[in-house]
């Protein structure tokens, strides 16, 4: 039932006219409000003296939230970790599967939804391709940040988890402040990231058949 509702919503969003905000219905009013709020947050929310520093900070967050470095790290751990360290290898494999799932889910949803980037967006995301460069819904950086933080919660101490959550929150906020995404793009990414983390955690359990390790207490 939930899947049917999700498919129905995505199908309706695939009509690009639904993102124009020119209609009179509740949906168009929500799109207009989302667009106006996003533009205000990107262009007016940060005081002028802080805008350059904020943009540099947001660019740094954009780099840390890109999928390529995370995939390279996961592959590196798999390639260079000891075969006897099944726990580490299993974690890296589950992380890699989750990252690939993230690319597929976000890329597919962006193609179907086809929501244009905000008009006030200045420049393109680092190492972006056409699908990612032209479409905004949902935010891939936001889904990835939530996914990594949620997945890492299984393994991190309370202090480490706090840092991961702060990083994910700042990453999500930066997507709107930079003008890369609308607020709704980021909000839609949050449950997707959590679901991806649950899928990766499931893979972590299943991978016990391939890596000799124990689940952390």
Alpha helices, H only, the chain: 2-13, 26-43, 51-64, 67-80, 86-113, 130-134, 140-152, 158-177, 183-206
* 50 within 8 A of 57, measured Cβ to Cβ: no
Task: Check 36, 66, 124, 181 and give the catalytic one.
Answer: 181
Measured CA distances, 92 to 63, 124, 206 (Å): 20, 30, 13
* Terminal-residue alpha carbon distance, the chain: 35
Task: Check 141, 182, 202, 209 and give the catalytic one.
Answer: 141
Q: Is 181 a catalytic residue?
A: yes
The residues assigned a catalytic role are 141, 181
């Amino acid at each position: 039932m939930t899947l049917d509702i999700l498919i129905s919503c995505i199908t309706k969003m695939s009509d690009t006219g639904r993102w124009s905000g020119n209609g009179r219905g509740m949906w168009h009013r929500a799109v207009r409000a989302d667009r106006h709020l996003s533009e205000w947050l990107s262009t007016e929310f940060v005081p002028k003296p802080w805008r350059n520093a904020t943009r540099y900070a947001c660019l740094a967050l954009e780099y840390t939230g890109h999928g390529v470095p995370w995939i390279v790290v996961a592959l590196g751990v798999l390639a260079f970790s000891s075969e006897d360290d099944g726990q580490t290898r299993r974690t890296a494999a589950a992380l890699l599967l989750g990252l690939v799932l993230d690319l597929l889910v976000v890329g597919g949803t962006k193609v179907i939804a086809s929501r244009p980037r905000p008009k006030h967006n200045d420049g393109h995301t680092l190492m972006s391709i056409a699908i990612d460069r032209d479409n905004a819904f949902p935010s891939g950086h936001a889904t990835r940040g939530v996914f990594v933080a949620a997945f890492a919660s299984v393994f991190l101490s309370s202090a480490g988890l706090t840092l991961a959550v702060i990083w994910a929150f700042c990453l999500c906020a930066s997507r709107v402040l930079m003008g890369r995404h609308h607020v709704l793009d980021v909000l839609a990414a949050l449950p997707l990231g959590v679901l991806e983390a649950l899928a990766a955690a499931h893979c972590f359990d299943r991978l016990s058949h391939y890596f000799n390790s124990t689940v952390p207490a």
